Amino acid sequence: MQNTKKYTTWESLPDTLTAQHISEFLGISRRRVYELFHVNVKDGGIPNFKIGATKRVDKADFKHWIALKKQEQVHA
Return per-residue pLDDT of the chain as tens, 76 residues.
Answer: 455 668 889 999 999 999 999 999 999 999 999 999 999 999 999 999 999 999 999 999 999 999 999 998 888 7
Which segments of 1-76 does DSSP mark as H helices, in order? 19-26, 30-38, 59-75
pTM of the shown model: 0.88
Pick from 2, 35, 8: nearest CA to 21: 8
